[in-house]
Amino acid sequence: MKLDIKICGLSTADAVDRAVERGATHIGFIFFEKSPRNIAPEIAGELADRVRSRAKIVAVTVDANDEDLDDIVSLLHPDILQLHGHETPERILHIKALYGLPVMKVFSVREATDLHRVDPFIGVADRFLFDAKAPKGSDLPGGNGVSFDWNLMASLDEGVNYMLSGGLNKDNVADAIASTRATGIDVSSGVESAPGLKDVGMIDAFFDAVADAKANKR
Ligand SMILES: O=C(O)c1ccccc1N[C@@H]1O[C@H](COP(=O)(O)O)[C@@H](O)[C@H]1O
C-alpha cells in the first residue's frame, strides 16, 4: 500500500532531517502569523533545501493574498500549495494560473454534510485534505490536535484523492489508516512536545506506528 506521510509545521533542521530520514514524503511549512509554527519564508526555504530532492515541499497558507504568496513561492519554491482557509474555486484557479503549482485544498469536517463542500472543487484542486473543525475559540484553522469521526469518510465519492489530518498521533494513526481510504496522512501537533516544538522521538514513534499499521494491513 502506497501511503504519503506529511509532517507539518516544521521549523528546525533536526526535525526536518529526521522526518525525511524516517520516510516523510511531504514536509509542510506554516505561513500563518497566529500559529506557533509560523515561519519566515527565507528560513523555510533554507530548511527545505536540505531535503528538496527527497520530499515534496508544502507551503501551508490561510486565505493568503497574492503578495504573500509571491514571497512564499519565490523564497520557498514549494512543490505544493496547501490552502487551509476559505479559498473559493475561482481563487484556486487564479492561484494555479499564477504559479503553475498543484493545490491541495483543505476542508474541515464535523458531520457528513461537510464532505459535500468538496463538490465544486473537484477538477479544480489537485488533491484534498480533510481536517477536523477547529474547536470554538481557537485562533487556528488547523494544527489544533483534534480529530473527527473518520467513519464519515465512507460517504465520500470513491474518486476523491485525499489526505487525512486532525489530531493524528502514534496511538491513533493505525486506526485512521484502517478506517479510511486516505492516500496520505498528515500530522503536526501529534509529534510535538509543546505547541510548535517538534520532538524527534515523537517523530520516530509516529513512523514506527505507521510501519506497524502497514504491516498489519498487508
Ligand atoms: O499547524 C498549524 O499551526 C496550522 C495553522 C494554520 C493552518 C493549518 C495548520 N496546520 C495544519 O493542521 C493540520 C492538522 O494538524 P494537527 O495534526 O491536528 O496538529 C495539518 O494539516 C497542518 O498542516
Euclidean distance between the first and final Cα of the chain, in Å? 8
Report the pLDDT averaged over residues 184-208: 98
pTM above 0.80, yes or no: yes
**Residue 216: its pLDDT value, please?**
81
DSSP strands (E only) in 32-149? 56-61, 80-83, 103-109, 127-132
What is the structure's pLDDT at 215? Answer: 86
pLDDT tens by residue, 116-175: 999 999 999 999 999 999 999 999 999 999 999 999 999 999 989 999 999 999 999 999
In this predicted structure, what is the pLDDT of residue 218?
52
Cell of 49: 533545501
Other beta carbons within 10 angstroms of residue 62's beta carbon come to 20
Over residues 40-60, the pLDDT tens digits come to 999 999 999 999 999 999 999
Q: For the chain, which domains are there?
A: 4-216 (3.20.20.70)
Yes or no: say if 147 and 168 are a contact pair by the CB < 8 Å rule: yes
Whole-angstrom distance, CA of residue 11 vs CA of residue 28: 9
Atom of ligand 1 nearest to the CA of 196: 3
∠ CA 57-103-63, rounded to 5° = 100
- State the distance from the centre of ligand 1 to the C-alpha of 214, rounded, in angstroms: 24
Coil, helix or strand at residue 132: strand
Q: Whose CA is nearest to atom 2 of ligand 1?
A: 143
**CA-nearest residue, atom 8 of ligand 1:** 142
Q: C-alpha 217: how far from its chain's center?
A: 23
Q: Which of the residue ranges 30-44, 90-104, 110-124, 204-218 would you say has the lowest mean pLDDT?
A: 204-218
* Catalytic site includes residue 119: no
Annotation marks residue 186 as catalytic: no
Residue pLDDT, tens place only, 20-32? 999 999 999 999 9
Residue of minimum CA distance from atom 15 in ligand 1: 143
Q: What is the mean pLDDT of residues 12-24?
A: 98
Prediction ipTM score:
0.97
Closest ligand 1 atom, CA of 168? 17
Q: Is the pLDDT of residue 1 over 70?
A: no
Q: Which of 33, 131, 173 to mutate to test the pocket of ligand 1 (most atoms within 8 A of CB)?
A: 131
All three cell numbers of 175, joined, read 486506526
- When pLDDT is averaged across residues 189-200 and rounded to a whole number, the result is 98
